[in-house]
Structure 1
């Protein structure tokens, strides 16, 4: 049995969802960060649990063909990027396989209709938002950067390859100002000091830059000097604001903002729509890949201009608004009031007049819409990492949309939810992974679900009154047959299946019953097991 500090040779054969390589020692899986599939290496055991262990790469004996020279010196300790040591092609393969594995192992799906992953045009400088925690080093100087893996220890960072160069310039000017002004640094444990975070946003298309200083107080020493130094270092800057956060919390932003110079928002364009972005507003951090994702979602939605589109978990409305011009009506639902207000403002700003936004939990909003008789043709869902509430999926199925477009940020919860959708008679038509965050372990997925035989099922319900029963057939109603089959055989059967079996037995079920108006309509056929159960019921009621 392996134990801590053991050394062993192994080959990396797979990757975890967090981007660590997987090898085996004494039959136990060992997770090793910074390795690649195909690496032959010496691993030191650093922690042993009941069913698996963690290791550290001690020596690389034979490198994987996927390996490349890391372009960031702090990628390991920072923990933000886990794939900077392998090629982008290898990274995309790993992310595609992660989605496939989740759907197969958790969802139990086979023959998954996977489309090629949508890779990013660049692995670097793609983020339009940056949050840098501020703290004191051991020698009492300000440090600013990113938290080390699984800790609140700050890795002092002067550049990050995921963020635009303009953020580096703004951060260096801020560092220089702090030295000159002597403004105090926030101490998390003592809840004292002022400077907590440096928070920056930029518009990829507009070029506008907003710098926000998060502080444990309402005023900074040397505010005029700060404005002067930032404007000199960053001519692109359009706004400098102070965010006041006096709470004992890990939440970065407080509620109150004070503008030190310029305007407190930036503009940017996404899918031909212009958005006004405040420090609090949600906006996709990789605009280019967000457009790729939204375009794929729109393709899957298949809107023609005649549909009602429901956008659940709509946030500030970006996905739904990007499709609104192709829909008859857009309804968005979101639980965060400020996001709903932003969605309404975004709709008005872009002259979208066919949109309505509701504030409420997805489950409650979906139920309210169902109760008021809304039957959307297409539903788009973009839930948080925890996925959908089971009740949300049940209500979506009750609305009977012809298509559901599921945008997911977690393959595991996606697989779980798709399992419930298929149980509700939805079929997986297409799956496309999207690499929104190159270098990191994250992967997004867009899935198209379609309702099985929706039109035929609707016609079954509409034509129930057109039965032309003979006296012999009236011995048992359809509901009585269903109840008998359920009680004796434990099977649920539809009116459609009962009519098919009755026809086989020569019983009249009415001239128009269950006949589609389409010449080439595909009608589901009664399975043999259910046919036998229905035959038994017909004999029981002396109808045959």
Structure 2
């Protein structure tokens, strides 16, 4: 029966013809030929990260269309058909300059099968990249560990500083254009005159001034948070992760070649690395959640003051061993380290999250827990947890420009609303020019510092509130004076929408100076401030009048964008 059914199936559907010997030999030869066929590629180095369209356009003009480059790479690949073409391409690349960068080429050849196997293993077993972005094979990545760390911590380090400034200014301008487009795209607008400024001819919605560069390009960071882990050789090390932990990277490299880290902080990391290597306590393992040494934070101010915070996991330690370690740390930092430590702080943290945390108490082991910094002739006390700008010379330029824009009228009684005031830097530096300063900050320790700083500088016309700004709306809306100016210097993601609505509802606030460290995330705040009136947004809207980028973070993508918003008057058309 089975043979009958089989014969019927074969007669209806046809039997697949078996390969004869000659056919098999032909297929085998084709497979061998394919495996032996070579690919010819030129690896081009010293390219700018991102800028993929410009790179492709450049090489297409040179006659090369097969170009491979991921946005985050500072290198790329040109594929050609033969060794002869590859040698010519190599000569072209080595004699080419792209955006003031001397390019360098390397001839790479491998079989088609090797290339395919490498790609497949990278795409299947390697780290998942963003959509449509090729993975980087370790064989193709010729960067040294120090270069990998630099790309992680200071991604613009290969760019000349003037080029960095152009990019940062362009990013700020992009967000101003996004604000303009979002205002243009609003629906159901009652009064078109309130957004007429967004439809004015010209690409920019307001005047954009030349960016202010950082006075110091290298070693400017006054605060660093170092991971305590193991380097590529498995040795205990104090430094930075070589990549993102969420991508599975746990290796730590010393910060000795990091451009933005101060020499003092590098020295602290190095000597504490020696201490940890000699310790009988293991470093913390982020994967297994075991071990002891976790984090080292440094604050190294221009005054010479040094704050050091050591974080330890103590779940496996007896109380006696923990107390002994505190004594050992005190002895090391005061007697052996060679560092003049102003105050030493200790934190025990057994939780899973990494980094210094506000979920665990801090214990002062030496000093009084504070250090000091000078800004624009004022002296500021800083605690371990309070926010303070990490680039003091550039911060002085930022605050000076902010004071200039506030343009306090000496003939008027003026109130300055210092929203998200931190340790009080902006309000205190401007306090002698105004009648009254009101500061609001959600971090209680920062407000303690702000009050101490006001007293330290003999400033008496200030009032501080330790609250979220949105929880002190009555203070914002209730403040009355001849002139009221609001300065907003919020966290990276901006402030709650209710804060912006409160500013709009406070009719006596005619100007807002908004300092943003991430204009893309703060864009919703800008839109809320400028959108025409509605049932939800009752106060008259503001419009941007001028903007400027101030660089506090050379060699990184970050930059402060300061925007002045002026309230529109009723029936004002632009």
Q: 2: distance between equivalents of 1:394 and 1:11?
A: 52
Shift of 1:196: 0.7
**Aligned with 1:192: secondary structure?**
coil
Structure having greater relative contact order (Cα 8 Å, sep ≥ 6): 2
In the TM superposition, what whole-angstrom CA distance separates every residue of 1:193-245 from its partner, at most 9, and x where no partner exists?
A: 221111111121x2011222111237265555544443444343222222222
Paired residue for 1:22? 52
CA distance 1:11–1:188, change in 2 (3 Å): closer
* Distance (Å, rounded) in 2 between the aligned partners of 1:50 and 1:263: 47
Kept in 2, the 8 Å contact 1:42–1:58? The answer is no
Gap change, CA 1:296 and 1:58, over 3 Å in 2: farther
CA distance in 1, matches of 2:228, 2:259: 19
TM-score by length of 1: 0.71
Equivalent residues in 2 for 1:44-443 (5 A)? 52-53=132-133, 73-76=146-149, 79-108=152-181, 110-111=203-204, 112-137=206-231, 141-151=235-245, 152-159=249-256, 160-204=258-302, 206-217=303-314, 219=322, 221=324, 223-231=326-334, 232-253=336-357, 255-305=360-410, 306-370=413-477, 377-400=484-507, 401-423=509-531, 424-443=540-559
**Is 2:299–2:306's contact at 8 Å kept on the other side of the alignment?**
yes
Cα distance in 2, alignment partners of residues 29 and 398 from structure 1 = 50
Q: 392-401 vs 125-134, which deviates more?
A: 392-401
Please tell me whether the aligned partners of residues 296 and 446 of structure 1 are also in contact (alpha carbons under 8 angstroms).
no
Contact 2:216 2:393 in 1 (8 A): no
Gap change, CA 1:449 and 1:138, over 3 Å in 2: closer
Higher helix share: 2
Unaligned regions of 5+ residues in structure 1, if any?
Answer: 1-5, 61-69, 458-493, 495-523, 528-544
Kindly tell me: are residues 57 and 240 of structure 1, through their superposed partners in 2, closer, same or farther at Cα, counting changes over 3 Å?
same
1:374 CA displacement: 7.5
Note the C-alpha offset of 1:91.
0.5
**2:66 & 2:265 partners in 1: Cα distance?**
48
Once residues 168 and 470 of structure 2 are traced to their aligned partners in structure 1, the CA distance between those partners, rounded to angstroms, is 30
| Inter-CA distance 9–435: structure 2 relative to 1 (3 Å threshold) | farther
CA shift at 1:92, angstroms?
A: 0.5
Alpha-carbon contact 1:42-1:59 (below 8 Å) kept:
no
Instruction: Find the residue that maps to 2:354 and give its secondary structure.
Output: coil
Contact 1:408 1:414 in 2 (8 A): yes
Name the stretch that deviates more: 349-358 or 407-416: 407-416
Question: Are the equivalent residues in 2 in contact too, given 1:107–1:416 (CA < 8 A)?
Answer: no
Deviations 1:307-357 (A, max 9, x none): 111111122222222211111111111222222222222222222111111
| Deviations, residues 450-478 of structure 1 (Å, cap 9, x unaligned) | 1223xxx5xxxxxxxxxxxxxxxxxxxxx
Q: Cα distance 1:321–1:364, how it changes in 2: closer, same or farther (>3 A)?
A: same
Deviation at 1:267, TM superposition (A): 1.2
SS of the residue corresponding to residue 73 of structure 1 reads helix
CA distance, structure 2, for counterparts of residue 141 and residue 362 of structure 1:
46
How many aligned residue pairs are there? 439
Change in Cα spacing, 1:75 to 1:293, as seen in structure 2 (3 Å) is farther
Contact preservation (8 Å) 1:20, 1:33: yes
2 CA distance for matches of 1:374 and 1:136? 58
1:468-511 Cα offsets, whole Å, 9 max, x none, are: xxxxxxxxxxxxxxxxxxxxxxxxxx7xxxxxxxxxxxxxxxxx
Does the aligned pair in 1 maintain the 2:414–2:481 contact within 8 Å? Answer: no
Structure 1 residues 98 and 142: CA distance shift in structure 2, 3 A: same
Q: Tell me the distance in 2 between the aligned counterparts of 1:249 and 1:49.
A: 24
Once structures 1 and 2 are overlaid, which stretch shifts more, 368-377 or 267-276? 368-377
**2:36 matched to which residue of 1?**
none
CA separation in 2, counterparts of 1:105 and 1:147? Answer: 34
Deviation at 1:360, TM superposition (A): 2.4
Segments of 5+ residues of structure 2 without an aligned counterpart are: 1-38, 57-64, 76-97, 107-114, 182-197, 532-539
Contact (CA 8 Å) 2:225, 2:355: kept in 1 or not? no
The verdict on how the C-alpha distance between 1:7 and 1:117 changes in structure 2, with shifts beyond 3 A counting, is farther
Shift of 1:302: 1.1
SS across alignment from 1:380: strand
Name the CA shift for 1:57/1:176 in 2 (closer, same or farther; >3 Å): closer
- Per the TM alignment, residue 288 of structure 1 is displaced from its structure 2 partner at its CA by 1.0
Which 10-residue stretch deviates more, 122-131 or 208-217?
208-217
SS of match in other structure, 2:404: helix
Measure how far apart 1:57 and its partner are.
Answer: 11
